[in-house]
Each structure stands twice: as structure tokens, then as C-alpha cells.
A and B are shown apart, each in its own frame.
Chain A
Amino acid sequence: MLGRITNIQRFSTHDGPGIRTTVFLKGCPMRCIWCHNPETWHTAPQIQLNATRCTGCGGCEAVCPAGCHRIDVDETAFRHLYDSTGCVRCGKCIAACRALALEWCGKEMEAEEVISIVERDRAFYGKTGGLTVSGGEPMMQPAFTNALLGLAKERGLSTCVEICGVGAENLDDGLCDRIYFDIKTPDPALHRRLTGRDNADILANLRRLAERCSDKIVVRMVIAAGLNDSPELVEQLTALTSSLGIAHVELNPFHPYGSSKASAVGMKSTSPGKEAVPDDRALAKLRAHAEA
């Protein structure tokens, strides 16, 4: 079975217990303004620029039929301006780049091929580590995700998924040891503002999953200062999780690195800047609040 992969990250230490290999799938139904991985939004492969490798030769600019690349040169330096809006994904710029600064982001892979890479680090997984399927949104490719989880289980590997809740009704939760379920905010109006969509289906899916396996679920919420960091929201969240019998809630800080990832694939970043990174004390306070 084929899946669309953004990349496979070995030695992942924050996507579940132990050492894990995280498979980032491509495609996401949400458009969270703070997205940490905007290069995973689109399902189709994109062209990615590694600006540190660019020599400013202009080869890409010369061959691009859509005018996506422009090299701005002044007396002392050059700048590679990349806007992928009209990109037709012809790949001519990649072929023309002799500095290897342009490459495809995203490719199709067989589930068996993916699992063979995951298996390479078996020695490091021990009893806790293993496969994490992340994204993007794994449930944009439910059959592939379930197939991957199944292959991992057949091989005795621990399995985690990181999902946003959209399409979660298709997740084979029996194949998951842990389900990281993102709640961007429990408040519907704010949810629409921050992610571009309603959260009714997400909350319904959380309820449904909790009825089946609340002990497997870890609810995660990204905290961005000034956007969703009020104690009231955290209270709403914990009221929801405790009503569903979900014991594990993690509040994780927003980080602004998504911005450079967006520009690498020629997209305008929607991410707030450093000012939205919650300071350690404020976050600790919210966490204490959540625990209370």
C-alpha cells in the first residue's frame, strides 16, 4: 500500500516513550496559524529550498515556468526569493540546481518500505520505543496509517499516533498503544479563528475514542501566548478530559520554527513570532492549573 510521506525521522525523543522513529505523513485538513510543520499541509509533493546551500547561480529562475524563483542580487549578497503559489511541480528547478539546494518534500512510499526503515532502530526501542505516525494528519490517509500500525504490531513494535481528531473515526485504535490527540482549543469560536475550521467533529471523535480506550489517550494542547493561554481555556479542556476519563493532558509550548519551514516550501508563514512563546513560569502555572 502506498502512502504520501513528508519524511521519516529516526531518533525521535518527543513523540512518545523511549526512542521512536516518527513517520510524518503529508496532508492536513487543519490550517493552524502556529503550525509547527506547515510543509506537511499539502498532500502533493512540494519543492523545498535549503537556502544555506544556494549559491545564487540563477539556474532555477531560468527554467521555472511559473516564476516561483527569483535571485535578488546586490553588490554584497544575493537573496533567493521563493514563492510556490503558482508552482506546477514540474521539478525543472531541482534538475537545474547544481548546488543541491532544491529538493522534493514528500514522496510516495510503500508501507513495507517504511516499516523496514522503522525496523532499523529496533535495538534502541527496548520495551517502550517504536513507531509514531504523525503528520500532517495521519487520518488523511487512514488505510495507510492503519496498515503501517498493523505492520508495526506484527513486528512487536510499540505504536503511537499523533492526530488532530479530524477523521479519527477511521483510526483502528486497537493497533495503537498511545494516541496523542491534539485539542487546539476547546472553544468552538476560537477554534475557527485559530485553525480555520469548526471543532464539533473533533470533540465528537474524542468522545467516541475515549469511550473505547480512554487510557490510551494523551490530550495535547499547544499553548501560544496571547492566543489560547487563558486559565479558563485550560479549565474547559480539563473539565472535558476528566468528564471523558482521560487522565493524561499535556500542555506544550508553541515554538516559532514553523515559520522557516513554511518559507522553505515557498509558502507565506501564518505563524506568530517569538512573542507567542509562553514563558516558562506562565506555562508551569498553566500546567499546575491543569493538574489541579
Chain B
Amino acid sequence: MSEYTFYSAFPGSRPVRCSEKTRRFAWDSLHAVYGRQTSETLALESDEIPGFAEMSPYARYDAAIRLIAEKAPLRLCPDELVCGSATLGKAIKHTIPVHLNGKCFQESVSHLTCGFDRVLREGLDSYLDRIHARQAKECTPAQEEFLRSLENTVESLRIWHGRYLNLLAEKRASAADEAERAYYDALYKNLAPVPFGVPKTFRQGVQALWFLFAFTRLCGNWSGIGRIDVMLGDLLKADLASGEIALDEARELLAHFWIKGCEWICLDERGTGDAQHYQNIVLSGCGEDGKDVTNEVTWLVLDIVEEFPIPDFPIAVRVNEDTAPALLNKIAAVMRHGSGVVAVYNERLIIDSMVEFGYPVEEARRFANDGCWEVQVPGKTLFGYQAIDIYGQYQKEVLGMEGEKKDYDSFDALLGETKSMIARFMADWHDRADSHGKGGKPSTVVALFEDDCIEKAADYYCGGTRYAALSPHLGGVPDTVNSLLAIKKLVFEEKKLTFGAFMDILRADWEGHEELRRYVRDSYTYYGNDNDEADDLAVQIMDTFMDETRKIKFRAGVLRPAGISTFGRQIDWKDVRYPHAHGYRRGEILASNLSPTPGTDREGATAVIRSHCKINLSKLTCGTALDIKLEPNSVKGEEGLEAIASLISGFVVLGGFFMQLDVMDNAVLLEAQKHPEDYQNLAVRISGWSARFVTLNDTWQRMIIERSQQAGV
């Protein structure tokens, strides 16, 4: 029994594996004890640095990073097993937490997964050797400046590292008893050799990885972690074999990594959710040699998120047709508690897609992600995406909701014009994409961990990384498809009214045509019901988008993998949309990502997945997500567990890309709105991230509640 109970869609059913101390640590962290501490010091003041305002961008950046390393508050949490904390509040706001005239002087970097794996293999000291070797070669003044900045980053990290070691040494010296002395001594010994040297034990490996991640965060950057089981699996295996560590101890240690990962939770602000710092982690799947990498670390991570609803590291498990049933069941067991901590990738489809796109197969097999589900090669990629609102464009340009009224004499003409519009839009987009990665603010802290930046002596935004990718992210496809379907049926097949008359009804937001609105809404079968007529339109629209994007896979140094997302943009879009041909009024809810428009899918989760998977997602190299929301009743018992595992298997067999499945009870969410104080650690999947429900504002909470639920009977 434990004093601490964490939210589950099945109250009281989470396993208790960690010690009571660790559970208390998790409880405190999830209840914002450390996030609030972090917010006490928002940023450091640059006043202490003479001439800061007048410095060159790199000189200023370097001075700021050094200031952070020297002056950021240090924090040791009670009983923690892993040291280092990102303790400056403005870092939580995606800025470098150093003030110039009361404001942070520069934005920071996100949407990447740093190559921490290489540091664990080679040690940070070897990075200095690489920098010095490059300095010995011919350099332009700008390259010299960047290489100095890289040196400064390593040295700043060393300063911060030294401060923690000094603090631990002081604590050890002033320990009240032998147990306390031994505790600080152990922490000291884990931290001292890493990350500058290569970790020799699992404990050192966990510490090194956390310390690197915490430093990049402290400087404001939001990096992903990547494939943690690949990075730490061998260390754990060796330590378990030698008796250096027991499995329970390893779980406990790794749990502290997870708990510290939610040290930015504040719970005091409401918006798009508080756990959204893109700290993505990928588990399982194949290694560069194509062999399965699943190891004890994979299982320990799943153990931890089964015990604690910590969604701050969004986890995606790479699965394929040969994934062990036991692993599928474990994923299902975690998913069933709700909170949306774990999602799944269909890895073979993704690897094949990347290879076909042009990546070497070994690189493709290393894939991880950033932010939500955007696939990239970690530690080697400058990544960006641009949101494209295709449904808005379709309403304005194709339906003629703005400017000159449009008319079409056949459905083929309407569909043809929709496709032409997408083609025109993508041609323009390719022209704009040429300038990606051609210069930008200093970002040395992340460039240090990106392959080729040192050797090319070029920064993250200046062509330093091995790959630069910019992805067009289309949103609004399901709404577009449903609108097309409704017009096809009503105007061109049933001929109940003309295209022009129908558009006039839409312009008037269905005023005076309530019966017709209900007829259109309720009698047609839309995308998401495994109905070939509707789904074929989705296939055609998506093919047009993917094929037009893939006409130029690489140009001007920029890879252009197609992707789909709305993340949460559909919430902003809905208020500026015209009324919808599929029977929805102005302002009604829109589709998220490539999931059905809420309320239009009526055939259950399997039908949704089948509709989604009719689209050839292997052409969508940057990825997309399918959101599935199940109610707890539909997945209770052993049968329910089996059902979730079967949904995942089916998703893989049918050719899905990325599925985020959450289990939640709308009645509980409504209660949480009324009594937020009782639901502080209830987390829900939002899009590529989860968040504590109580930190969502009203609009976002409503979106989660209104999202279709695939009931199951």
C-alpha cells in the first residue's frame, strides 16, 4: 500500500513498484512543487555583463550561456538519485533565460532531438578534441567565432557540472550521519566522471543523459531525448550481469529521470497544457543493423509510466508485425490507465518511407521524433514544419466563400478544382521553402550535439547539420473530404438544390434550413466509417498533396517530407471557418490531424482505423497521427487489454503511421472541470503531447471532451 495514489481511468489499479520515497518525489513533482520553485527565478540579468547589449550575436550568446552556467540556482531535490535541474522559469517559455532590458534577449530552439547518444559513446571531452581539430584547419572569421562558441558551450557545461560537484561535496562533508554521507557520496561518484568521460555503469549513463538534457533545457532549449533504451540498454545489461545493480534499483533510478522530467510543471496557468516541452522518447524497434533493440530499459520505462501518470516525456513505441505479444500487452496496459503517455509508430512503414525518400537505410532505422510525431534522424537534423490550412483555403478559393462566387457543373469539376488548388499551393510552398536553414540566431548549445556542425564549423540554423528538413504540414483534410462528400451527394447526385443555392445557405449559416442541415449531417456516411465512397475522397485529396510535395524531395539543401498535423490549430481555425457543407454550423468543432471530424464517425475504432489506413501513408514521410479515444468501459478486464493490443496490431497490418490512443471517461472530465483541485494529476492526450487536464483552458478542455469517443460494446 502507498500513501500516494495517481490518476488512472481505472481508479486504484496502477501497480506500485517503486519505493515510497520515490512515489512521494513523483507526487511532489506532479503537484508542481519543483515547477513553482523554478518559477521563482525567471531569468538572470545581463546587467552583470559589461557591454552585453552592444555585443555581436555570438559574443552575447556565449556570455549568456556562461552566465547561466555560473549563476543559475542549483537544486537538489530530497532523496533524488539523479542530479541537475533546469531552474530558470523563462526556459519554460521557450526563451534563453537571460534578460536584456527586462526581456529575454533571444528565443531558444525546439523541434529537434539532440544526439545525446553520441556523447554517451564518446564522452564530451572528445568533443573538445573535435573542435580543436577543426580550429586547426582553415576557417573564415565567422567559422572561428562559431568554433569559439562551441568551446564556450563545453566549458560552460563544465562550470555548471563543477558547481554541482562542489555542492555534493559540501553536502557530503556536512552530512548528519553515515547514511546521508553515503547518499551524497554515491551521487558525487556517479556525476564526477560524466558527461565529460564515457559512462561506465548504468547509473552513470542515466546521470550523464539527464545532465546533458538538463543543461540544454536550462539554456531554454526543448530537445527530445530519442531512443533511451538503445542508449542505456547495454550498460544495464552489463550491470545486471555483474551484480552492479539490481533490476528494482535500476527501475527506481530511471523513475527519478522521469520524475525530474516533470520539474517544469506549474499547474498555475491554463492554456494548451503544461507538459508540452517536446521531450520525446522513442522505445523499441530495430537498430541500425535491423535487429530488435528491445531490452530491459524498454520494459523499465513502461513499468514507470504504468505506475506514474507522467506524460512529460511523450513516449512512442516502435512496433511492427513481429513485435512480441508481451510488449504489445504491456503497451496496452499502460495505455489503458489513460493520460495518453504512450503512442505507437508503425516502424517498417516509416523506415521504408524514409529509404524511398532518400535516407540511407541505417539512418532511417535510427529514426526518432521531435515535438509530436515528426519523424527525423536524431542528432543530425535541422527540422522545421509549416502549417498549411487546406480546409480554409478550400472554403475560400474552391467554394468561393470569399470574393467571386463559384459554380461547378459536375462533381468532377469541383474535385478537380480542389486538387488544382492544392497543386498551386504546394508549388508556391516549394519556392518559399528554399530559404530554410540559410541563417538564423546563434544556437550553439544544440549545435554541439548535432553531427557535422563541428566539422563544418557551421551552426544549427546555418547549414551545419547533416540534414535540413522542412515539412509542409497540411491540416483540415477530413473536413475538406466531408464537405466534398456532402456536396457530391446533395447537389450532384440527389440534385436537391444547385451548387450556388447550397453555398448561399452556407453563407447564411444554415439559417432557415435546419431540416436540410440535419439531413446532410445525419444521412450521409463520412470519412472515418470504413465507407469506401468517403474514404476514396480522402485518398484522392491526400494523394494530390503527397504527390505534389514529393515532386521536389530535395532542393536548395532542404529535404521536404510531407506531413499532416493540426496539433491544436483546429481550435483557432474553427472560429474563422465558414459554415460547413457536412451539416455543421459556423464555429463547430473541426477534425484533428488525420482523424475524423468529431461526431461523424459512428462505426467504432476499427472503422476509423480502416478509413485512415486506406490512405497510402508511406508517402507521408514526416508522418501523421490518428487520435483514438476509448471509454474505460470498453477496455476493462483481460478482454479489454487484448482489444487494445489488437487495435495496435491491426493498425500496423493496415499500414497506419502513428496512433495515439487515450482512455478517458467524459464524466470524469466534467467533474474535473468542476473540482480541479481533486484532479491535479489527471493527464489527457492532447495531440502529440499530453497535459494535466486542469492546465487546459476552457476551449481546449471542451475540445478534449467533444472529441469523438469510440465506445466499443
Residues of A at the B interface (CB closer than 8 Å) are 9-19, 22, 53, 55, 98-100, 120-121, 123-126, 128-129
Contact = CB atoms under 8 A, between A and B. Distances in A.
Contact of A12 (B523, B650, B654, B713): B713
Contact of B605 (A11, A55, A120): A11
Contacts of A128: 642, 646
A22 B713 contact: yes
A220 B300 CA distance: 38
Contact of A18 (B603, B639, B654, B712): B639
Contacts of B650: 19, 121, 123-124, 126
| A-B complex: 9 closest residue pairs judged by Cβ atoms | A11-B604, A124-B650, A123-B650, A13-B643, A123-B653, A13-B712, A19-B646, A11-B606, A121-B606
Most chain A beta-carbon contacts within 10 A, residue among B610, B642, B646? B646
B606 A14 contact: no
Contact of A125 (B514, B609, B646, B710): B646
Contacts of B603: 10-11
B653 A13 contact: no
Interface in B122-154: none
B646 A126 contact: yes
B530 A120 contact: yes
B642 A9 contact: no
A53 B640 contact: no
A126 B652 CA distance: 12
A255 to B, nearest CB: 10
B354 interface: no
What interface size band does chain B fall in? 20 to 34
Given A13-B640, A100-B523, A120-B610, 7 more contacts: A9-B604, A13-B713, A17-B639, A18-B643, A19-B642, A55-B518, A124-B646
A14 B713 CA distance: 6
A1 to B, nearest CB: 25
Contacts of B515: 55, 98-99
B673 interface: no
A53 B522 contact: yes
B301 interface: no
A201 B277 CA distance: 65
Contacts of B710: 11
Contacts of B607: 10-11, 120
A19 B647 contact: yes
A13 B605 CA distance: 11
Contact of B646 (A10, A14, A120, A129): A129
A9 B514 CA distance: 30
Tell me the interface secondary structure of chain A in the complex: loop
A121 B606 CA distance: 7
A286 to B, nearest CB: 17
B635 interface: yes
Interface string B490-515: 00000000000000000000000011
Contacts of B634: 11, 13-14
Nearest to B523: A100
B646 A18 contact: yes
Nearest to A120: B530
Contact of B647 (A55, A120, A124): A124
B429 interface: no
Contacts of B646: 18-19, 124-126, 128-129
B284 interface: no
A214 B472 CA distance: 59
A19 B643 contact: yes
A40 to B, nearest CB: 13
Contacts of A124: 606, 609, 646-647, 649-650
A179 to B, nearest CB: 16
A11 B604 CA distance: 6
Given A13-B643, A123-B653, A98 B606 contact: no
A236 to B, nearest CB: 25
A243 B104 CA distance: 78
A55 B514 contact: yes
Nearest to B607: A10
22 contacts: A10-B603, A11-B604, A13-B640, A13-B712, A17-B642, A18-B639, A18-B646, A99-B515, A100-B519, A100-B522, A120-B530, A121-B606, A123-B650, A124-B609, A124-B647, A125-B646, A126-B645, A126-B646, A126-B649, A126-B650, A128-B646, A129-B642
A128 B610 CA distance: 19
A287 B348 CA distance: 44
Contacts of B609: 124
Q: Determine which residue in A14, A16, A18, A120 has the highest number of CB atoms from chain B within 10 A of its CB, and name it.
A: A14
A13 B522 contact: no
Contacts of A14: 634, 637, 639-640, 712-713
B635 A13 contact: yes
Contacts of A11: 603-607, 634, 643, 710, 712-713
Nearest to B608: A11
Nearest to B604: A11
Interface in B621-652: 634-635, 637, 639-640, 642-643, 645-647, 649-650
Contacts of B647: 19, 124
Of B515, B603, B606, most buried by chain A (CB within 10 Å of CB) is B606
Interface in B510-536: 514-515, 518-519, 522-523, 530
B385 to A, nearest CB: 30
Contacts of B530: 120
Interface centre among B519, B650, B710 (most CB of A within 10 A): B650
A13 B530 CA distance: 19
Name the residue among B530, B609, B649 with the largest chain A CB count within 10 angstroms: B649
B338 to A, nearest CB: 16
A11 B515 CA distance: 32
Interface string B540-565: 00000000000000000000000000
A55 B521 CA distance: 15
Nearest to B638: A17
A167 B530 CA distance: 36
A173 to B, nearest CB: 22
B8 to A, nearest CB: 16
A12 B518 contact: no
A14 B649 CA distance: 19
A14 B653 CA distance: 23
Nearest to A125: B646
A10 B606 contact: yes
A100 B515 CA distance: 9
- The residue in A10, A13, A53, A123 that gathers the most chain B C-beta atoms within 10 A of its C-beta is A13
A50 to B, nearest CB: 9
Contacts of A19: 606, 642-643, 646-647, 650
Contacts of B519: 98, 100
A128 B646 CA distance: 9
Contact of B518 (A16, A100, A121, A129): A100
A251 to B, nearest CB: 13
Nearest to B653: A123
Nearest to A255: B633
A171 B713 CA distance: 24
Nearest to A129: B646
A272 B353 CA distance: 57
B474 to A, nearest CB: 26
A103 B172 CA distance: 77
Nearest to B603: A10
A279 B675 CA distance: 25
Contact of B639 (A10, A13, A123): A13
Given A53-B522, A98-B519, A99-B518, A12 B712 contact: yes
Contact of B654 (A9, A100, A123): A123
Contacts of A55: 514-515, 518
A124 B646 CA distance: 5
A225 to B, nearest CB: 19
A128 B639 CA distance: 10
A22 B519 CA distance: 28
